[in-house]
Amino acid sequence: MSEANRTFKDSMFKDYFKDKERLIEAYNAISGKNYSATTELEFKNLRNVFFRSQNNDIAFLLDNQFIVLLEAQSTINENMPLRMLVYISEIYKGYVDEDALYRKYASDLPTPEFFVLYNGLDEYPEKKILKLSDSFTCLAGTPILELVVTVYNVANGNNIKMLEKSVALYDYARFVAIAYENLKYAKTKAARDKAIKKTINFCLEHGIMKAYLLSRGSEVRRMLSMEWNDEVYRRVLLEEGREEGLVLGREEGREEGLEEGLVLGREEGEKKGREDGERKGREEVARIMKAEGSETTFIMKVTGLTEEEITEL
């Protein structure tokens, strides 16, 4: 699995909310505002300013008043204020020419808002405020430069009242949860295809994102197949490796503790056994990932093994 791939949630999020009415409805639920579905909305393109293949953000100008940046995330990232700072700087460049920066009077700029929807597996507060100033290494008093991002957790039953204000947002969160459940143990392409089909069929039968899935079903299958969430994949493999490592560690620890008890003692023996066993677990994870065709750099990131160690497996 290439690290260049986006997670299925992020790509689906961007594709699903390209629809103007869905996006306005979701924004109203998140912000507490009440814009009509006919309100003027203009999408803004975000350049790949971080030199990453993925671009999961949605930027739009609403009613000629706001620039709103939204992103769906499957992993916790508390560097979002910095990321949004770079994005909003790029967008504002499109509103003023170079000469305007040197004119006497201030230029008019749309007011920005920054939101992140977290939908991952880790525990996270229902709402969290991230500030750029939290990253400053030396801060005394009020920061001269600030940017605030509001993160809403929409996973595992969080922020239900907010989600219920938007059918589109609620359905999206439900679809992702169902896809997670069906895909999390799918390690082969055949298993993934089966899990994807099961997810889409279930959602169609229960009216979840039905119109979108009927019109974009084949594209959804392609996105889920190509961009299956590597975070779930990583977690499952590590959990399996950790469990196997603990079993091996206990067994080898006991043996070594008995054989070398005079030197190491039982506790030291079991500690060393656990370490050796956990390493064997990581090596087993790496073997599975190699068999699945994962790239070496991704295997290194997941297991902590070196490139040489992975090559020798």
What is residue 249's predicted lDDT score, i.e. its pLDDT? 54
Give the pLDDT of residue 128: 96
Q: Using the 8-state DSSP alphabet, how is residue 54 labeled? A: -
Question: What's the pLDDT at 273?
Answer: 61
Question: Residue 181 burial (CB < 10 Å; 0-12/13-18/19+)?
Answer: middle
pLDDT (0 to 100) of residue 110: 92
Residues 6+ positions from 257 with CB-CB distance below 8 Å: 264, 265, 266, 267, 268, 269, 270, 273
The model's pTM is: 0.70
Q: State the DSSP code for 106.
A: P
Q: Which conformational region is residue 2 in: left (phi greater than 0), alpha (psi within -120 to 50 degrees), or beta?
A: beta
Bridge pairing between strands 57-62 and 41-44: antiparallel
Instruction: Parse the chain into domains and list their residue ranges.
Output: 8-226, 230-312
| SS3 state of residue 258 | helix
Q: pLDDT at position 52, please? A: 44
Residue 235 CA: distances (Å) to CA of 31, 72, 112, 217, 231 = 33, 19, 35, 28, 6
Pull the structure tokens for residue 143.
């920061």
Q: What tens-digit pLDDT sequence spans the chain (313 residues)?
A: 333 344 565 578 888 999 999 999 999 999 999 999 999 999 987 665 544 444 557 899 999 889 998 988 888 889 999 989 988 988 888 888 878 888 888 888 999 999 999 988 788 999 999 999 999 988 778 889 999 999 999 998 899 999 999 999 999 999 989 988 888 777 777 888 899 999 999 999 999 999 999 998 888 888 777 656 555 555 565 665 555 555 555 555 555 555 554 555 556 655 666 666 667 777 877 787 777 677 787 777 777 888 888 888 8
Rounded-to-10 torsion of CA 58, 64, 66, 71: -10
